[in-house]
C-alpha cells in the first residue's frame, strides 16, 4: 500500500497568513493526488485534483503543486472560513490512501 505522510498534523495561523501543507507519498504517484477540506461534523469537500487542478467553485487562493512523491497545498491568504482540517488522498493505486490530516486553527 502507498503510505501518505502529511505534515504538519496541526498548525495555528492568523487571517491573512500564507499556509503550506505537505504530503509525501511512500512511492511515486505521478500527479494522482487530491486535497480535501473538512469542517467539524461535515463531509469532506474536494479542493484540488490531479495535484494542481482547482475543483469548480474553489477560490483561487488555494493552490496545489507537486508530482511524484512530494505535494503541497498552499493557501495564499487565510480567510476565516478556511479554518478546517485538510486531507490529501492518492488515487494512483489501490487501496486509495489518505494522509493523516492537518488541522488549521486560529492563532
Residues forming the site for other proteins (CB under 8 A): 34, 36, 38, 42-46, 49, 55, 87, 89, 91, 94-101
Q: What is the Cα Rg of the chain in Å?
A: 13
CA–CA distance, 94 with 82 (Å, rounded to integer): 30
Return the number of the residue (66 or 99) whose C-beta is nearest other proteins.
Answer: 99
Whole-angstrom distance, CA of residue 18 vs CA of residue 89: 22
Of the pair 42, 81, the CB lying nearest other proteins is at 42
Distance from C-alpha of 17 to C-alpha of 1, rounded to nearest angstrom? 35
Minimum CB distance to other proteins smaller for 27 or for 77: 27
Give the shortest CB-22-to-other proteins separation in angstroms: 16
The x, y and z cell numbers of residue 15, run together, are 487571517
The distance of closest approach from Cβ of residue 6 to other proteins in the complex, given in angstroms and rounded to an integer, is 9
Q: Are 57 and 5 in contact (CB under 8 A)?
A: no
**In the complex, minimum distance from the CB of residue 100 to other proteins, in angstroms, rounded to a whole number:** 5
Structure-block grid coordinates of residue 22: 505537505
Nearer to other proteins, 68 or 101 (CB): 101
Amino acid at each position: 500500500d502507498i503510505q501518505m505522510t502529511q505534515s504538519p498534523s496541526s498548525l495555528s495561523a492568523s487571517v491573512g497568513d500564507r499556509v503550506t501543507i505537505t504530503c509525501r507519498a511512500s512511492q511515486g504517484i505521478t500527479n494522482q493526488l487530491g486535497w480535501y477540506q473538512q469542517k467539524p461534523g461535515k463531509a469532506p469537500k474536494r479542493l484540488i485534483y490531479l495535484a494542481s487542478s482547482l475543483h469548480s467553485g474553489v477560490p483561487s487562493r488555494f493552490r496545489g503543486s507537486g508530482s511524484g512523491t512530494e505535494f503541497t497545498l498552499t493557501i495564499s491568504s487565510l480567510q476565516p472560513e478556511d479554518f478546517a482540517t485538510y486531507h490529501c488522498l492518492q488515487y494512483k493505486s489501490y487501496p486509495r490512501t489518505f494522509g493523516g490530516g492537518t488541522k488549521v486553527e486560529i492563532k
